Structures are given as structure tokens and as C-alpha cells.
Structure 1
Amino acid sequence: MFHLSTSVCPCGRLSTRSQPLTYVSCCGRYIEHFDVTAAPDAQSLMRSRYSAFVLQRVNYLLATWHSSQRPATLELEPQAQWLGLEVRGQRSVGVDHAEVEFVARYRVAGRAVRLHERSRFVREAGRWYYVDGDNG
């Protein structure tokens, strides 16, 4: 069972001492407090969006999707079992634009799925937003 205050963050980020961060000290501060705490960079936003998929937080996913690409609704696979996230790289492509390459793994209906994407992000008014991505 997932406990907001004590569970390891689904994104798998490690501390400077290579210890797993808790949800509240990692992605939880952005997901649970989006109105006051914005992700500081594109990678943190991408990681928090992964955690939001794991935790079925549709409102956060829609709120962090850039308005130019945001779908009207979002249906998540309720039976998806998320298995892990690997960040392969990140790069700045301007002051307010960045890309993050990642691999997310999950299982649905017994079938393993591997999502490899290079995501594009934009910062507007101090907040990062997911724009779109290319599967690789």
C-alpha cells in the first residue's frame, strides 16, 4: 500500500547519498502542491509526471501539459503496473526549452510495455510544461 509520507517515490530518484527519496521529498511536493510548488526543471517535471501516471493523478497530468497540446480528457489504464523509470539524458535547447529522454516500463494485462521517449518541455511564467515527445 502506498503511503504519501513514507513510501519511496515511484520515479526512483536517489539522494546525493544514493538512497531512494520518499514521495513527499521528491515528486509529491509538486503533485500534491502544484498550485504553490512548481517543478524546478524539465527532468523534475518529467519524473513527477511519471509518478502521477503511477498514482493515477489525471488532474496533475493535465495541469502540467502545455495548453497547445493538452487533451480535453485523459483516460489512464487502471490495470497498468508501473515497473520503473530510467532517465537517459536531458538537455537544454534554449533558456525556456528542454528535452528529457527516458524509458518507462510497465505491464498491462500480463504484457510488458517499454515506452522510450524524448520529451519536449517549455517554461512559461516560471513553470515547466510537457509539450510532446517522440518515441524512440
Structure 2
Amino acid sequence: MRSRFTAYVRGAGDYVASTWAEETRPADLAVDASGEPFTQLQILDTAGGGPFDAQGVVEFAAHYPGGVMRERSHFERRAGRWVYVDGVIR
């Protein structure tokens, strides 16, 4: 989760795409190359995601000037690495 947040801040679209499950990744995924104006990542809740888990959930708040975006994200471990599957914005 933290690495994906950093990728959005730095405009690293290739990393965002490579950590997104193929079956749910948008075909027109566009990450602003100049980066997103997020200023802080706050982890609100987690479930699973440990070293022996195949799935995990992270609820987070991404702060930006003028607001906060909250999401509950679902991740799966595939071939030894975590990928983002989907999320619900709250």
C-alpha cells in the first residue's frame, strides 16, 4: 500500500500498473507523470496481509490539499508479491 501511494505521488505509472491485478486493472490507466498532490498516507485499518496470508485488506486515508480520499482496498499475494485487486472509496 505504501509503495503504491509513493508511486502515485511520484507519477510512477509503470509501478502502479505492475502492482495492479491484470483482471481489474483499467485499460486506460493514467497516472499523472508529474505526480499526485497527496501529502500524507494514514492507514486506518488492516485485515490479513501477514507473511502467511494470501489476501489482505487495507483501509487508508490519502490527504491532499483541500481534502481526504478514503478507500478500503483488497490485495492478493500472487507469485510471492502483493497486487491490488480492487477497492471501495468511502
Local SS of the residue matching 1:54: helix
Shift of residue 81, structure 1, vs aligned partner: 1.8
Q: Point out the structure with the larger strand share.
A: 2
User: Identity, % of aligned pairs?
Assistant: 37
* Counterpart residue number, 2:64: 106
- Partners of 2:71 and 2:88 within 8 A in 1: yes
Q: How do 1:119-130 and structure 2 match up within 5 A?
A: 119-130=73-84
Provide the C-alpha distance between the structure 2 equivalents of 1:128 and 1:79, rounded to a whole number of angstroms.
Answer: 22
Deviations 1:92-115 (Å, cap 9, x if unpaired)? 1783011001000123xxxx2311
Q: Are 1:91 and 2:75 an aligned pair?
A: no
CA distance 1:83–1:68, shift in 2 (3 Å): same
Q: Runs of 4 or more off by more than 4 Å in structure 1?
A: none
Greater C-alpha Rg: 1
Secondary structure of 1:71 counterpart? coil
5+ residue gaps, structure 1: 1-45
Larger RCO (alpha carbons 8 Å, 6+ apart) = 2
Q: Alpha carbon RMSD of aligned pairs, Å?
A: 1.9
What is the number of residues matched between the two proteins? 87
